[in-house]
Structure 1
Amino acid sequence: MRTQSPTVAEELAHRKRQELLALPESLGAFVREQAALYGDKTAAVWFERGIGMTYAQIDRAASQLADSLVKRGVRKGCHVALMLKNTPEFPITWIALGRIGAVMVPVNTAYTHDEMTFVLTDADAQYLVIDAEFVPRLADAPALPGLLAWERVIVSGASDHPLQWQALVDAGDAGFKAASAVSRDDLLNLQYTSGTTGFPKGCMLSHDYWMIHCHGAARHRRGPEAGIENVLIWAPFFYMDPMWQFLMTMKLGGTAYIAERMSLSRFMSWLIDYRIHYCIFPEPALSQFPPGERDTEVCLKYISIYGWTRAAREEVQARFNVIAREGFGMTEVGTGALVPAWAHDKALERTCGLPAPFRELQIRRDDGSIADTDEIGELWIRGRGILWGYYKRPEANAESFDGEWFRTGDLFRRDADGFYFIVGRIKEMIKRAGENVSATEVETVLRSMDAIDEAAVVPVPDPLRREEVKAYLKLREGLTQADVPPADVFAYCAKHLAPFKVPRFLQYVEGDFPRTPSRKIAKKRLIAETADPFADTYDRQESRWR
């Protein structure tokens, strides 16, 4: 074990050497390799359901499902949507589709019918694997969205639907071989993200994207004495984090302990009961459980943290003797930067770290030139395996790419040591409890309400969720707040938006919004000129005016 920390140059050289290591050609090939290595070892435990599966069982089930799906018409390049809970069906179906060469389209299970219809139609989904609980959202509509037909809808869970997920697995041949070769450059996911502004866009992500992501994550957390085996996954699988964590765990030869959903009240018990070595640790869990006798029962070795205060970073490392490190990632590029385990002092700052394997970072000024040290500019990223582009979005692709370089829309600076720091976001996005909420999408829904003339949606600080959603409303002429009470606005939003997107705070604007010279709402001025962002607002959560 080294007694001295490496220099930044040595760290970057090490990451370049990592890039020379061969990666599996596809998701299916990777899972098969890991099953050959670890066989009957438990790969995943869905502990609230009492289900555990070995590496060999997951590999076999994926091949059986792939065989049955091909017999049902799924072919290389087919778009298959998944609207599933955190159950074995999700990763097994993903692996099966990857083995065929088909494309998975994850669908947020919190979506309303309107949002679900938009994604299924925009993604050109030809097949849908859906939990029985969500079938009524389809059945209540006069017609299925886009290219779907009922004979191509596969249901998981108790249902009288003729096409059952488990029956397909049971009927399939474990010796499945794809008719067409699947390579690292084939498309694997059409991953929808609000990303910047506007309605969700589908990021086209290849097999190589996921192999780079999970292998880099495993190597980063495999230090000399890391010993990471038990990994807690608590976020919904339709997001990218649980997917790369699941694959990272397989690469480490460990066991993933998968929760149905996040629970702050049970979080510490999960860590102790399942002897968790790694997880993404939400900062509110630290204050939820003050220091106590059970701290010594926590087995954490490494945690990922995002946006924590310095005091919280110091506390968590001291309490649990754990390595706590930040990073920077986004759906479009996977992991962009990571704080090395050896960077102890730097890790107490809010730095995102150094460029990750296969990633090159630059900070550029508005004119595209390279920014100086500590100068703020936009972060640009390039490298093998980043997104191909946004599906059916030529305008967004033209705006977001300059040759190989992807423009993140985030403001960064780079210090004299070579470490990157996020400063803010150029494009409007509210980060609420890990969820991306597009201000433009919420505003579009609000403006579609007849009584509302204009709306401006902005973030406000929140100690638990980091940011909450606040909407400023300008009503149509002649209408008053009594004509359009908050309850009506919230009810309307709930019909068209997932619960996490519905504004918590409402404020009615008298007169007019501050404007730019082109008559757009000047949100920066709106925020700056509001001394108390909660004064004269209605709080949906507390059902009162503040």
Structure 2
Amino acid sequence: MDRELQEAADLRALIEAEPFPRNLAAFIEACAAEMGDAPAANFFEAGITISYRELAEKTRALAAGLAARGIGFGDRVGVMLPNIPAFPLTWLALARIGAIMVPVNVRYTPREVAYVLTDSGAGTIVIEAGVLAEIAEAPEVRNLAAFARPIVVGGAGDWEKLAATSATDFVPEREPELDDLINIQYTSGTTGFPKGCMLSHRYWLTLGRVAAMRANGIVKHVIAAQPFYYMDPQWLLLMAMRLKGTLFVAAKASGTNFLDWVRRYGIEYCIFPQIVLKQVPRPDDRDIPLKMVSVFGLRKNMHAELEARFDVVARESFGMTEVGSALFTPYGATSMVGSGTCGIASPFREASVRDEGGNEVPAGEIGELWIRGPGILQGYWNKPEANADSFREGGWFRTGDLFRRDARGFHYIVGRIKDMIRRSGENIAAREVEAVMLGWQDILEAAAIPVPDIDRGQEVKACIVLKPGVAADAFDVDGFFAHCSAHLAPFKVPRFLEFRASLPKTPSEKVAKHLIVAEREDLRAGAYDRLYRGWLAA
């Protein structure tokens, strides 16, 4: 084992040997006892800071209030809030009493809200007053049990009153344990309805610990610019607490303001938004306080550029709602910069690349990534068919992602099993084609989709969004296809091209390709055909 891998193995052993607290509440209390009045969370745009002591006290009081309201162990509670302090306080208060949070996207339509609340069996909902006013009378939700007596934040709502409940002698009716549920976190899949991942106290404590480990002990100030109803701010809060630091929370993401926030608040760790790399460099870029950043799907040629421009350590990893942190690239693995790797198995996780028969494939070959380990999801809520399809003997979970593993044990993502295009018997990973398309200077966003073809089964269509200021009639079509041909095997080069104003997205900002495919019966209509060198009739 070489030095980089040995260092990672030693750190893994250290992280895994540390005992876990009984539950999330015990973690909060321990942090409060040690950190006291130090800031745990800073909602900087609202001017609200919550100390470690206040976090413990406020979640204890709110837990008492929720319990008095009749919410108890195992009850599912929808939480439909923007990035305000009430969100993490509600989450952690529910955790204290063993109730289960069901996060609901504030941008959901009434139909989508109804699906999540009905599927999860949520008996009530904690909702911001403005959001409630927008959807309360919608026929899809007004007769739901959760809306019969909502807990409203702001306005004339009663959340503030519940949060002021005396908790001097409060003890939950049943103390939750490590493997009791705390979230039913709905995934925004690109096919079918979302599935609710059943996530436990162990899941979150594991993810927070591993995320803190990735930061190599050199950061204190962490930023979350994503909505709390997604995964990231939840584990970023636990990560910051594990690091004895502060989570700075933005009301919403802003590529324009991001680096200003980093400079103003001394941010040392973030999930780096790639769009920032497109901004004009500044002479003081290397002086920003960032020390360590996580990147996901960063193009290989941009990795070293990011590190050099901002004098920062950038590391790729791979995770998903279902398993938390699955793979990580060690802080000390400098030899892997620009390799495109997602890393090696994270602490508490085993990784295996399998063929369609479930057999492990040799190094260098492509197969599906399987993950197992303590604290992964306990299954999809109310989805026995999905569970049967996703879990295998021995506790293995099928990720649905195609990977290859090199001789050192580093993993490289190839694409989604369901995001493959099959042309003339050849499998084409859409992710690979998209990465090449994004290398063309005029393209802001790109998606590769399959187009049915009577001769080849499927052809590749490039759906692209041009950068601001680039006109479609000035786009160098021939140059673009020549670029693709220089970087892709001939059978992978797109045949069709379509300009789009935008790409439809899922709530988690993944491209919703199923919506593109469903837009028209003939996906060739109105597209440029590379073989015929012209635009087809719409």
Give TM-score, length-normalised by structure 1: 0.79
Asked if structure 2 preserves the Cα contact closer than 8 Å seen for 1:45 and 1:257, the reply is yes
- Residue identity in the other structure for 2:241: M
1:53 Cα deviation after fit: 1.0
* Equivalent position of 1:347 in the other structure: 337
SS in 2 for 1:311: helix
* Equivalent position of 2:473 in the other structure: none
* Equivalent position of 2:408 in the other structure: 417
Q: Distance in 2 between matches of 1:502 and 1:375?
A: 28
1:42 aligns with 2:39: yes
Q: Distance in 1 between matches of 2:131 and 2:323?
A: 31
1:230 to 199, 202, 221: 221
2:281 to 261, 267, 291: 291
1:96 Cα deviation after fit: 0.3
1:391 to 372, 381, 385: 381
SS in 1 for 2:209: helix
Change (3 A) 1:294 1:25: same
1:326 aligns with 2:316: yes
SS in 2 for 1:75: coil
Q: Distance in 2 between matches of 1:394 and 1:464?
A: 44
Q: Distance in 2 between matches of 1:463 and 1:21?
A: 50
1:116 Cα deviation after fit: 0.9
Change (3 A) 1:529 1:537: closer
Q: Percent identity?
A: 42
1:376 aligns with 2:366: yes
1:73 aligns with 2:65: no
* Equivalent position of 1:148 in the other structure: 146
Asked if structure 2 preserves the Cα contact closer than 8 Å seen for 1:26 and 1:207, the reply is yes
* Equivalent position of 1:207 in the other structure: 201
1:297 Cα deviation after fit: 3.7
Q: Distance in 2 between matches of 1:460 and 1:123?
A: 36
Deviations 1:405-431 (A, max 9, x none): 000000000001110000000124999
SS in 2 for 1:105: strand
Deviations 1:334-373 (A, max 9, x none): 0000000111121321100010010000000111111001
- Residue identity in the other structure for 1:210: W
1:239 to 206, 210, 230: 230
Change (3 A) 1:145 1:380: farther
Alignment of 1:85-104 (within 5 A): 85-104=82-101
* Equivalent position of 2:398 in the other structure: 407
Q: Distance in 2 between matches of 1:537 and 1:76?
A: 60
Q: Distance in 2 between matches of 1:87 and 1:354?
A: 35
- Residue identity in the other structure for 2:211: A
Asked if structure 1 preserves the Cα contact closer than 8 Å seen for 2:126 and 2:153, the reply is yes
1:318 Cα deviation after fit: 1.0
* Equivalent position of 2:165 in the other structure: 171
1:291 Cα deviation after fit: 2.1
In structure 2, stretches of 5+ residues that fail to align are 421-429, 435-447, 450-458, 469-501
Asked if structure 2 preserves the Cα contact closer than 8 Å seen for 1:275 and 1:299, the reply is yes
Change (3 A) 1:75 1:508: closer
Change (3 A) 1:5 1:58: farther
Asked if structure 2 preserves the Cα contact closer than 8 Å seen for 1:112 and 1:498, the reply is no
Q: Distance in 2 between matches of 1:274 and 1:77?
A: 39
1:306 Cα deviation after fit: 1.1
Change (3 A) 1:18 1:196: farther
* Equivalent position of 1:256 in the other structure: 247
SS in 2 for 1:43: strand
How many residue pairs are counted as aligned between the two chains? Answer: 468
Deviations 1:39-74 (A, max 9, x none): 100111111111111111111010000001000100
- Residue identity in the other structure for 1:182: P
Q: Distance in 2 between matches of 1:294 and 1:356?
A: 34
Change (3 A) 1:259 1:413: same
Change (3 A) 1:409 1:83: same
Q: Runs of at least 4 residues of structure 1 off by over 4 A?
A: 428-432, 456-459, 461-465, 496-510, 528-532, 535-538
Change (3 A) 1:263 1:397: same
Asked if structure 2 preserves the Cα contact closer than 8 Å seen for 1:121 and 1:145, the reply is no
Asked if structure 2 preserves the Cα contact closer than 8 Å seen for 1:120 and 1:145, the reply is no
Give TM-score, length-normalised by structure 2: 0.80
Q: Distance in 1 between matches of 2:7 and 2:510?
A: 43
1:31 aligns with 2:46: no
What is the root-mean-square deviation in Å for CA atoms of aligned residues? 3.5
Asked if structure 2 preserves the Cα contact closer than 8 Å seen for 1:283 and 1:312, the reply is no
SS in 1 for 2:357: coil
In structure 1, stretches of 5+ residues that fail to align are 433-438, 441-455, 466-489, 515-525, 539-544
Change (3 A) 1:109 1:507: closer
SS in 1 for 2:164: helix
* Equivalent position of 2:455 in the other structure: none
Q: Distance in 2 between matches of 1:22 and 1:457?
A: 51
1:9 Cα deviation after fit: 4.7
- Residue identity in the other structure for 2:333: A
1:338 aligns with 2:322: no
* Equivalent position of 1:193 in the other structure: 187
* Equivalent position of 1:118 in the other structure: 115
SS in 2 for 1:125: coil
Q: Distance in 2 between matches of 1:12 and 1:464?
A: 43
* Equivalent position of 1:62 in the other structure: 59
- Residue identity in the other structure for 2:242: K
Asked if structure 2 preserves the Cα contact closer than 8 Å seen for 1:112 and 1:497, the reply is no
Higher relative contact order (CA 8 A, sep 6+): 1
Asked if structure 2 preserves the Cα contact closer than 8 Å seen for 1:8 and 1:418, the reply is no
1:283 Cα deviation after fit: 1.1
1:184 aligns with 2:178: yes
Q: Distance in 2 between matches of 1:497 and 1:365?
A: 31
* Equivalent position of 1:280 in the other structure: 271
